[in-house]
Amino acid sequence: MGEQVTRSIEFKSQSSDSTNPAEMHLTAFSQQEMKTRALKSMLTFWLIAAICVLIPIAHFVLVPGFFIGGIVVASRRWKTEEEGRDATGICPDCGKDICIPLDKIAELPQWHDCPDCSKPIALQPPEAGKTSQS
């Protein structure tokens, strides 16, 4: 489910200001898929809530917790058009080919540490900060 999309971005070094072209891989959802995903996650949470009814004492916390959690997760998914999978490119600091997992977040810019040299890198849209080019 979801369409696999590759988008051009930039890795920007926080220490030297140099940038490298990079690619962000994400999953794009249609309106229908967004709703299906939202409903599925809500039903899953509510199923867990229903099972938690059987657990003595803990159910006072778990049942409303999962019930509300299902609504929160579903409403978030309802609005999620894109989920980031990972970003690949050359680290501007150490020059290594790196792959950064995005934890499902597709918004830019975002900041990560290089998995190789641990230096902070900004993931940003290409040409960010440059005004003259279209």
Provide the binding-site residues for Zn ion, judged by CB under 5 A. Answer: 91, 93-94, 114, 116-117
Helix (H, G, I), strand (E, B) or coil at 92: coil
In whole angstroms, how close is the CB of 99 to Zn ion at the nearest point?
12
| CB nearer Zn ion, residue 71 or residue 90 | 90
In whole angstroms, how close is the CB of 26 to Zn ion at the nearest point?
22
Answer yes or no: are the C-beta atoms of 80 and 102 closer than 8 Å: no
The rounded distance, in Å, linking the Cα atoms of 46 and 64 is: 9
Match 């290594």 to its residue by tokens. Answer: 96
| CB nearer Zn ion, residue 61 or residue 94 | 94
In whole angstroms, how close is the CB of 14 to Zn ion at the nearest point?
11
| CB nearer Zn ion, residue 34 or residue 90 | 90
Find all residues with CB under 8 Å of 86, minimum gap 6, and list them.
Answer: 24, 25, 99, 100, 101, 102
